[in-house]
Structure 1
Amino acid sequence: MEQICLRLYAREGQQHQRHLLSDWLLDSARQLGVAGGTVLRASAGFGRHGLQEDSFFELGGELPVIIELVLSQAQAEAMLALCAEQGLHLFYTRMSVTSGITV
């Protein structure tokens, strides 16, 4: 099945409406009818907030997380529109993917 892989990038401790942003995004995707999503925690990364990496001394929620959703084009557009409506300034990538279930 041809779908979209939407990846939203955030910081692990980032909050929105008194919830972790990653949890809020997963809940919002579920409400849009998305079948599933995954949050991946990075061990290191750099971007507009500089270099962050996991070490013995924890960074207190500053490591990058990726919220990955495989969804329809319409759901991807709705998710990005919701993020814009909520004033979230998140970097994202959107890729066409083929998905299925192994037999």
Structure 2
Amino acid sequence: MSDDTIEAVRLCFYAHLRARHDGTLLSEWLLEQAKRRGIGGGSVFRAIAGFGRHGVLHEEAFFELADNLPVKIEFLLRAEQAQVLLDLVREARVDIVYATSTIRLGILGTQ
């Protein structure tokens, strides 16, 4: 491993595009909560198809379901930041699936 990497956590939340919390899109709410806590960044990725724990298939091809495709909201952060974000989501009683994994994180180039 290179000396310019750190051990970090990939924290991914999985939701539907239209999922909301307190009237705000859940993906936007999560990004805003992370930003307020000084977390360096997060990204939202929209799937072209998928199904979740309830077995309902969502695809771009199904017109009536196309606007509620799955999204992944992903953060690369330090372990303590991941815990802060997870605790916040729990306290807000958000119904969402998440996954974590330990990663090596580095930045190339100049900032």
Q: TM above 0.5, one fold?
A: yes
- State the alpha-carbon separation in 2 of the partners of residues 73 and 46 from structure 1: 29
Q: Which amino acid aligns with 2:57?
A: L
Q: Are 2:47 and 1:47 equivalent residues in the alignment?
A: no
The alignment covers a number of residue pairs equal to 103
TM-score (norm 2): 0.86
List gaps (5 residues or longer) in structure 2: 1-5
Overall identity of the aligned pairs, in %: 43
Corresponding position of 2:19: 14
- State the alpha-carbon separation in 2 of the partners of residues 33 and 27 from structure 1: 10
List gaps (5 residues or longer) in structure 1: none
Q: Which has the larger radius of gyration?
A: 2
Corresponding position of 2:83: 77
Structure 1 pair 9–27 and aligned structure 2 pair: CA distance change class (3 A): same
TM-score (norm 1): 0.92
Is contact 2:60–2:66 with CA below 8 Å preserved after alignment?
no
Equivalent position to 1:5, from 4, 7, 10: 10
- State the alpha-carbon separation in 2 of the partners of residues 4 and 85 from structure 1: 21
- State the alpha-carbon separation in 2 of the partners of residues 73 and 23 from structure 1: 22
